Amino acid sequence: MRKTLFRAASLSALLMASATAVYAEVGDTAVAPVQSFYDTLLASMKQGKQLGVKGRYEKLKPVIEQTFDFPGMTRLSVGPAWTSMSDADQKALITALGRYTVASYASNFKSFDGEKFIVDPASSVRGTDRIVTSKLVAGSDTVPFNYRMRQTGTNWKIIDIFLNGYVSQIAKQRSDFSATVQSGGAAGLEKKLNALADGLLKE
């Protein structure tokens, strides 16, 4: 149980016969993507040993790519340097961050030990964005995860994750990424993200 909570905390970011997810009400369109993500994450945990890390990666990849706004997350994480990068460099970084994010979930959520993901059925308004609150419950321990959702076209997507309800994954990544971009540019950051993903995908 403690190992599960440690794995969850390490994602800041950066998400089983008796496994259950508490379902949100259908009406809130900003909540539905988070619930769908959790449903798939729980199913992956249920099959964790059979799938292996690469199988979990392939299972999680479609729903994570659908649920997370990786272009927006990458732009915000890189910061001001983003505007001076070429289109090719921007696309490469978006792909690399997406790969690293999926690998992180596949590696850290590898098995089921009675966890529940509980999603508040109603989001709250934050400017033009929405905040979806949720929590990971493992026995008597609880870890809050709040998601900042941003509308992309007709869909709501995750633009930031707040671990323990307030620790911004985007803010942490911007701090981590800035030094790499300054020393190695976009290519250096792409290489770093892919290397981290490669390490996570080793059995």
Q: Rounded to an integer, what distance in angstroms lies between the CA atom of residue 91 and that of residue 159?
A: 17
Residue 12: inside a domain, yes or no?
yes
pLDDT for 22 equals: 45
pLDDT at 172 over 60: yes
* Cα dihedral sign, 61-72-126-103: positive
Mean pLDDT of the chain: 89
Residue 139: inside a domain, yes or no?
yes
**Percent of the chain whose pLDDT exceeds 70:** 87
pLDDT at 26 over 60: no
Mean pLDDT of all residues in 101-108:
97
Q: How many domains does the chain have?
A: 1
Residue 14: inside a domain, yes or no?
yes
- pLDDT band for 7, please (50, 70, 90 cuts): low
Residue 63: inside a domain, yes or no?
yes
- pLDDT band for 203, please (50, 70, 90 cuts): confident
pLDDT at 16 over 60: no
pLDDT at 35 over 60: yes
pLDDT for 116 equals: 94
Quote the strand ranges of 15-166, DSSP E: 20-22, 116-119, 124-126, 129-138, 141-152, 155-163
pLDDT for 8 equals: 54
Residue 121 belongs to domain spanning = 2-192
Residue 198: inside a domain, yes or no?
no
Q: Rounded to an integer, what distance in angstroms lies between the CA atom of residue 53 and that of residue 58?
A: 9
pTM of the model: 0.86
Residue 76: inside a domain, yes or no?
yes
pLDDT at 113 over 50: yes
Residue 203: inside a domain, yes or no?
no
CATH of the domain at 85: 3.10.450.710
Q: Which residue has the higher pLDDT, 60 or 21?
A: 60
Phi, psi of 130 (to 5 degrees): -125, 150
User: Mind listing the pLDDT tens digit for each residue in 137-166?
Assistant: 988 889 999 999 999 999 999 999 998 878
Mean pLDDT of all residues in 104-111:
95
Residue 162: inside a domain, yes or no?
yes
pLDDT for 166 equals: 83
Residue in the structure block whose two tokens are 């076209």: 153
